[in-house]
Homo-oligomer: A and B are copies of this chain.
Amino acid sequence: MTVINELILHEDRFFGPDAKQKEVAQQLYDAIAGLPLICPHGHVDPTLFSDPDYAFGSPVDLLLIPDHYIFRMLYAQGVRLEDLGILRWDGQPVETDHRQAWQLFADHYHLFRGTPTGIWLDHEFYDVFGVRQKLNSDTAQDIYDQIAAKLRTPEMSPRRMFEQFNIEVLCTTDAATDTLDHHRAIRASGWAATIRPTFRPDSVVNLDFPGWRANIDRLSEVSGITVDGYPAFITALENRRAYFKDMGATATDHAALTPYTEKLSEAEASQIFERALRGDVSAEDAQRFTGHMLIEMARMSIEDGLVMQLHPGSLRNHNPVIFAGFGADKGADIPLATEYTRNLQPLLNAFGHDPRLTLVLFTLDETTYARELAPLAGHYPALLLGPPWWFHDSLNGMARFFDQVMETAGLYNTAGFNDDTRAFPSIQARHDVWRRASANWLAGLVLRRMVDMADAAEMANELAYGLAKRAYKL
């Protein structure tokens, strides 16, 4: 009888199940496992690195409270977020005993069986925190103690972990109005790590963004340009892009409900912008203006060389009870069916043929992989496809991406991996899943004689390292 029962990080995990596929995948993986991590897109807080003495707090502070991938799953089974210690906006009381919150988490840890979150957590527990038990109701407090003790050791500072993770470059995501003080502090500290900001203008470009008017004032302030109309708005954005680029940025990032694009005339854009300044903007205005600004951003990217990223298709804050109590980014964002072929056509007609533009597309609607995104990326010089995103950053999500994208787009029209995470201790685990999934996919190609080992080895290297580095000009 096969005995497969230990809770350890098996050397051949995620490969197979065919034994020969495991063997070939292992060989391909071993050659890339030690490559430095390229992290071109994510949401790690730069504060972790600007303060050399930054400490992570309790295991719950570090692992539970900031990670909506985790607490959404407990909420879905009837656990109150308050009982996990998640702070409420309105100041109503929440659990402050982190041992209690941790126990509640451990009592429900079976919910994560077979999920990517479970895989990352098991990796972190074992590899980052040295835990050798399975987390459950019985082991909860013991594991809490182990993690808490580990967090008090010097090697658990963010800077030491960054080095141990072998991160070559980490890009954060920063509002267009951010002054990047923490990035400035990191540079000034003389620490040799490469941490770059990314220019994210949603809060000033999307007219229906919460607090848009105040964000425009803030934009005026940080740019030194009084944004009293559309021309000044464009100038202020160009100013901020230049500042970000000066601070090391190589990319911009854009969220939108849909990938709709439309080139407005200068007059139309101005009129909509002025209506927005007066607080008189319709949903249609907002959609058209966002669609217009995506084209404007592509134009600016051609001029300043910043790589453009577009992440559409998430209906944010689907659950008003959670939004009212806890705010945004609390696991209540739900994907929508998304259309790229017609929506992106105006932008691509303007700039898609220009190799100076790099536009990295993401999706939450996997039906677009084979139908729209792979054919688009397999044609337009400006397009690359980003890796499986968010809910699809998982073993099956990656397998579907490889199977549905690669034959039509070709490997070299994709942009490698990014971890897209705010959970810093999970970064190595996430890249490891990608590298293993890549090796396993390639092993399948080798065994089916579609590529030979020499080609597969090069492809593995590209997936783990080269594609992301080149796509983001890092």
Contacts and interface: CB of A to CB of B under 8 A. Distances in A.
A7 to B, nearest CB: 6
Interface of A: 1-7, 10, 12-21, 23-24, 27, 72-73, 75-78, 110-116, 119, 315, 318-322, 331-337, 339, 341-342, 345, 348-349, 352-353, 355, 364-367, 370-372, 374-381, 383, 391-392, 394-397, 400, 403-404, 406-408, 410-413, 443-455, 458-459
B394 A114 contact: no
Contacts of A406: 114-115
A13 B4 CA distance: 22
Nearest to A330: B379
Nearest to A393: B407
Contacts of A12: 449
B379 A319 contact: yes
A355 B383 CA distance: 45
B72 A379 contact: yes
Contacts of A380: 76, 319
Given A349-B320, A353-B321, A75 B379 contact: yes
A7 B412 CA distance: 21
B4 A453 contact: yes
Nearest to A78: B355
A459 B113 contact: yes
A26 to B, nearest CB: 10
Number of copies: 3
Contact of A110 (B319, B352, B455): B455
A397 to B, nearest CB: 7
A282 B191 CA distance: 65
A383 B76 contact: yes
A14 B322 CA distance: 43
Given A371-B365, A379-B318, A395-B407, A7 B113 contact: no
A391 B404 contact: no
Nearest to A325: B353
Contacts of A451: 113-114
Contact of A371 (B352, B366, B407): B366
Instruction: Pick from A17, A376, A453 the residue with the most CB of B within 10 Å.
Output: A17
Contact of A342 (B17, B315, B458): B315
Given A341-B335, A353-B321, A406-B115, A452 B375 contact: no
B114 A379 contact: no
B391 A374 contact: yes
A13 B391 contact: no
A36 to B, nearest CB: 23
Contacts of A448: 13-17, 395
B19 A20 contact: yes
Contacts of A318: 341, 345, 348, 376, 379
B450 A13 contact: yes
A1 B17 contact: no
B371 A14 contact: no
A116 B379 CA distance: 16
B447 A16 contact: yes
B404 A396 contact: yes
Contact of A366 (B355, B370, B413): B370
